[in-house]
Amino acid sequence: MWQKTKNKYHLLKAIFSNFWFGFPSRNLTIIGVTGTDGKTTTTNIIYHILKINGLNPSMVSSVGAVVDGKQYDLELHRTTPAAWGIQRFIKMAKDANSKYLILEITSHALDQYRAWGIKFKIGVITNITQEHLDYHKTYENYVKTKVKLLKKSKKLVINKDDKSYKILKNLNLSNVTTYGFGKDCDMNLENIGFDIKIPGEFNKYNTLAAIAVCKNLGLTETQIKNGLESFVLPIGRMEEIYKATFRIMIDFAHTPNSFEQILSSMKTDVKGRIIHVFGAAGKRDFSKRPLMGKNSSKYADVIVLTAEDPRGESVVKISQEISTGFIKGFALINYKDYQDNDANKNIYFIIPDRKDAIKFAVSIAKKGDLVLCTGKSHEKSINYGNGEDPWDEFAVAREALRERNTI
């Protein structure tokens, strides 16, 4: 009830913002991208294809906004800006003579009317898996919130392989383009005319979604292929910052599904152990914690549980809740008592300070190992409970390397 009351306030802000900026979306082709995982990569792929073809697009995603080639930071821990911020970026894009704006939009933003007044040309759903149930309460409510984007859009792009499709197909939606690996999908790996070279099986889905959008915008196969050939994943998406004796990779994965996707894709590529450093957000969806533990333990050999914006909640408690999902009988070891040997697999550690956790993971990595740090990625702050503290995952990992005397 309280959230509904707050949402009325958000709606008033959205209405005011639209009037203040003159309903700028009316003069742009807006593409909205939502989903549990893959939103940022899909948004960036669409943007890049349009940019390479000289179409002067703009973009608002979790890694920042780009208008007229200039980068702009967003609010901390905010994927989709508040209504005022959204309308301001749309107005900036309009003034810069952008024809297209790709907007990454979350379920919170949809529920809170931040997108009110925006005329979406195309709405995209990448996938809908368990996330944010602290806010939406049930998976069905979560799906219904995502559907709000589809109802605002003239054309729809939907992942037919995702479990949410069973719900979406019963909504009598029109102007739908489906994508997936099946031959019955409108856009699949066989009919696009070229191979997808972006790493990660899950990124094939993101790419198919982007291709479907660009096809709906009238781009040719050649234009799309040319754009994809030079695409580089956004910051903190499967980003390897060190590759020599062992490897270090940073990724934003922070849901059970994203763990399954990235870890399964890396398992066949790693000769040694996967050392997975992660945590779960404090005072957020508690139900996903054991599922994150389950999916990590299916593929990782060593797990280092640590802080990921605990917001005052005990990191040890969060870690213990994650560990209840472990499926391999992982043994808890005090990291201060760790002794290196060849049998060090199916073990886990709890190190509340994230900096210490990353340094420890890097210090124990051996030849052929992969240290995978997930959950923070591009974010510039971490919240331990006393406000936002500056954070740089990349700098911490590189500092750990220096201490190990590898660079």
Mean pLDDT for 4-9 is: 81
Return the pLDDT at 1.
59
Mean pLDDT for 362-374 is: 96
| Domain extent listing, the chain | 7-229, 239-403
Euclidean distance between CA atoms 223 and 26, whole angstroms: 26
Which residue, 237, 239, 233, 230, is CA-closest to 49? Answer: 230
User: Which residue has better confidence, 143 or 214?
Assistant: 214
Q: Does domain 7-229 have CATH number 3.40.1190.10?
A: yes
Q: How far is CA 145 from each of CA 100, 117, 179, rounded to the nearest angstrom?
A: 24, 17, 21
The pLDDT tens digits of the residues spanning 260-311 come to 999 999 998 999 999 999 999 999 989 999 999 999 999 999 999 999 999 9
Give 157's DSSP letter.
Answer: E
Return the pLDDT at 406.
58
Mean pLDDT for 105-110 is: 91
Euclidean distance between CA atoms 184 and 186, whole angstroms: 7
Return the pLDDT at 78.
62
Q: Does domain 239-403 have CATH number 3.90.190.20?
A: yes
Q: How confident is the model at residue 75 (pLDDT cuts 50, 70, 90)?
A: confident
Torsion of CA 9, 14, 16, 17, to 10 degrees: 140
359 dihedral zone (left: phi>0; alpha: psi -120 to 50; beta): alpha
Which residue, 253, 95, 64, 97, is CA-closest to 263? Answer: 253
Mean pLDDT for 342-355 is: 91
69-78, 80-89, 166-175, 306-315: range with lowest mean pLDDT:
69-78
Return the pLDDT at 220.
96
pLDDT above 80: residue 55? yes
Q: How confident is the model at residue 247 (pLDDT cuts 50, 70, 90)?
A: very high
Mean pLDDT for 137-166 is: 92
Return the pLDDT at 264.
95
DSSP strands (E only) in 252-392: 274-278, 302-305, 331-332, 347-350, 370-374, 381-383, 388-390
Give the CA radius of gyration of the chain. Answer: 21
Mean pLDDT for 355-380 is: 96
pLDDT above 60: residue 407? no
Mean pLDDT for 382-395 is: 95
Half-sphere exposure of 241 (CA within 13 A, CB side): 24
Tokens 């309903």 found at: 23
Q: What percent of the chain has pLDDT over 90?
A: 80
Return the pLDDT at 2.
63
pLDDT above 80: residue 208? yes
pLDDT above 80: residue 135? no
